[in-house]
Amino acid sequence: MRKAFTLVELLIVITLIAILSVAVLATLNPIEQTNKARDAQFKNDAAEVLSAHERYFASQNAYAWNSGTGQTVAVGVAAVMPGNVPMFGVVGSNWDGNGVGSTDSPLIQTSEIKTSFLNKAPFREEPKPIDMFYAYTDGADTNYVCFFPKAKANRTGEQGAKLKCMDPVDTADAQIYSQGVGCTLATSWTNADLTPQSGIANLMCVPE
């Protein structure tokens, strides 16, 4: 007599494998892992841009937004600057969103940042709201570079508690807030909500 698995036994094994596969996929969550990797890359890029601004200040005795081409911010004035405008310091005065005519920006002219940054999502002509970078300066020596996190783990819990509010409405009174009275963690992450807001903490900033 030959020994073999019965149809019922095979079905049980297949069912168990399917259950284990679903459990592993739920644990790993490939989309969440991709979003975490994206957030880590954005955080590294933000840190590199902020470091470039500080190096520029050390050599020029002014920040890029005080001495750049096109739009500029007066010394002593608090401001919020999106990454796709010249006063942010990465894109240039003739920038067309595709890296053409962009290399006259302060940070690139002084080699504080690589030209390849122009191809990154935050510096394209019309970046999606989720991909925007924002620089904040208090007009003196406090500066941040911020972005909207994509991973759920970075929007909730311990990481979510580090997210900040930013008020860009009035350039002269621009501010950045840690969570607390009047600044609460974002509950919605639709494109309509992905703007710097004084009452909604939705920005991951460097430094934290």
Q: What is the pLDDT of residues 92-111, one digit of tens each?
A: 877 666 655 577 888 988 99
pLDDT of residue 131: 92
Q: Which own/partner contact pairs does 169-172 have at CB distance under 8 Å and 24+ positions apart? A: 169/198, 171/73, 171/77, 171/78, 171/79, 171/80, 172/77, 172/78
- Which residues are bridge partners to 185 per DSSP? 201
CB atoms within 10 A of CB 71: 13
| Residue linked to tokens 């310091």 | 89
Q: Among 89-93, 169-173, 200-204, which stretch is predicted with the lowest mean pLDDT?
A: 169-173
| Residue linked to tokens 């703007």 | 195
CA distance 93 to 86: 6
What is the pLDDT averaged over residues 67-79?
Answer: 75
Full-model pTM: 0.82
End-to-end CA gap in the chain = 71
CA distance 35 to 42: 10
In 68-132, alpha helices (H): 106-109
Cα within 13 Å of Cα(113), Cβ side: 31
pLDDT of residue 11: 77
The average confidence (pLDDT) of the chain is: 85
Q: Which own/partner contact pairs does 107-112 have at CB distance under 8 Å and 24+ positions apart? A: 107/49, 107/52, 107/53, 107/56, 107/64, 110/56, 110/59, 110/60, 112/52, 112/53, 112/55, 112/56
pLDDT 10s digits, 41-59:
999 999 999 999 999 999 9
Q: Among 4-8, 44-48, 124-128, which stretch is predicted with the lowest mean pLDDT?
A: 4-8
What are the E-state strand segments in 69-120? 79-82
CA distance 25 to 103: 44
Alpha-carbon dihedral sign for residues 163, 167, 173, 179: negative
